[in-house]
Every structure is written in structure tokens, then in C-alpha cells.
Amino acid sequence: MSKGLVTILIIVGVVVVSVFAFISWGGSKYDSAVAEQEKVNEQWGAVQAAYQRRADLVPNLVATVKGAAENEKEILVKVTQARAGIVNAKTPEDLELAGREINTAINLAFEAYPQIRSTENFQDLQSQLEGTENRINVARDRYNEAVRTYNTYVRGFFTRIALNWFGGGEDFSVRKSFSAAEGSDKAPEVKF
């Protein structure tokens, strides 16, 4: 073989290897950008799931606590009224009227007031609210971390060249981190 032909084959070989190396490098950058983008989407999905959990859980918890408190209130009113009816009887007719409840009244005279559990329900509600808000905060933090990692990656000089070269530059725009809504620095009011 002549020297010229060997030189041409070497140059062609170097060009072919360089092209394959560039394609491999660019493809790797593109695939990594896709993976980072999907991590961002996954973390935003976790934030949305935490929001949905709060939207589903809080109204049900509040309704349960309200119902339990109202039920206990009714029980206490009835117990108090039954005790007052026996104690306040002044005539034999009053006693006869109250006589139908005498067995209950005797039992009530010796038992303690019903144990109040609505305070425990309120404490459980508070704990659930705190846990839910903590989950949301963790999900937002993870989302922001994924956005930071993604943005750092796609904004890199060589990554941007590879993404634009392979026609995906516009698909990998910089994402915004979670930011609080206007006025959210004020604590929400839970109403009963």
C-alpha cells in the first residue's frame, strides 16, 4: 500500500471514531438530561400527592373531631340533666316522674362523669395536620433539590451544546423551583 492511501485510511478512521465518540457522548448527555427531567417530574408528582392527601384528610379529620365533640356534649348534657332531675325533685309527683329514671340515676350517682375524649381527638387532629404539612414540606424540598440538579445539568456548557446538536435543546428548558404563593407567609386559620 502506498503511503498516501495509508494516510487517508488513518484520517478516515480517526474521523469515523471521532464521529462515533461524539455521537456517544452527545447521546449520553441527552439521556442524562431526560433522566434528570423525569426526576423533576417525579418529585413534582410527590408534591401533588401530598397536596391531595391534605385535601382528602383534613376535612375528614375536622368533621370527625366535630362529630365526636358534639356527641360528647350531648352525653354530658343528658347526664347532667338526669342528675339534676333527681336532685331537684321537690314533690312526690316530681319523684314519681323521675322514678322512671331512678335506676339510671342511682348508677349515675355512683359513677364518674363520662370520660371526655374530644381533647384527645383535637390533639390527634393537630398531630395529623402537623404530619401532613411536614410531608408537604419534605416533598417540596425534594422537588427543589431535583430542580437544582436538573438545572445545573442542562445549563452546563457542553451539555447545552450536545442537547442543541441533537435537537432537544428546547425540550430541556430551565425549571423553576417551588416558591410560596403570595401571602402564604401568614399561617392559615383552622376553623371549627
pLDDT digits (tens, 9 = 90+) for 93-148: 665 565 555 556 445 545 555 566 667 777 787 788 888 888 888 888 888 888 98
What gap in Å lies between CA 25 and CA 36, rounded to an integer? 17
Q: What angle do CA 63, 65, 69 make, to 5 degrees?
A: 115
Grid cell for residue 52: 391531595
Count CB neighbours of 141 within 10 A: 13
pLDDT of 158 above 60: yes
In the CATH scheme, what architecture does the domain 34-172 have? Up-down Bundle (1.20)
> Ranked by mean pLDDT, which of 18-27, 67-76, 91-100, 109-118 comes out on top?
18-27
Amino acid 176 reads K
61 vs 75, residue with greater confidence: 61
79 vs 177, residue with greater confidence: 177
pLDDT band at 1 (very low <50, low <70, confident <90, very high): low
pLDDT of 190 above 60: yes
Is the Cβ–Cβ distance between 149 and 33 less than 8 Å?
no
Is the Cβ–Cβ distance between 87 and 140 less than 8 Å?
no
Domain ranges of the chain: 34-172
pLDDT of 77 above 60: yes
Amino acid 180 reads A
pLDDT band at 86 (very low <50, low <70, confident <90, very high): low
DSSP 114: P
Mean pLDDT within 164-168: 76
Assign 3-state DSSP to the chain and report helix, strand, coil percentages, each to 5. Answer: 80, 0, 20
DSSP 184: T
Grid cell for residue 3: 503511503
What gap in Å lies between CA 179 and CA 39, rounded to an integer? 18
Residue 37's pLDDT is 85
pLDDT of 52 above 60: yes
Q: What percent of the chain has pLDDT over 70?
A: 72
Residue 98's pLDDT is 59
Q: What is the DSSP string of 131-165?
A: HHHHHHHHHHHHHHHHHHHHHHHHTSHHHHHHHHH
DSSP 191: -
pTM over 0.75: no
Mean pLDDT within 142-155: 87
What gap in Å lies between CA 109 and CA 145, rounded to an integer? 63
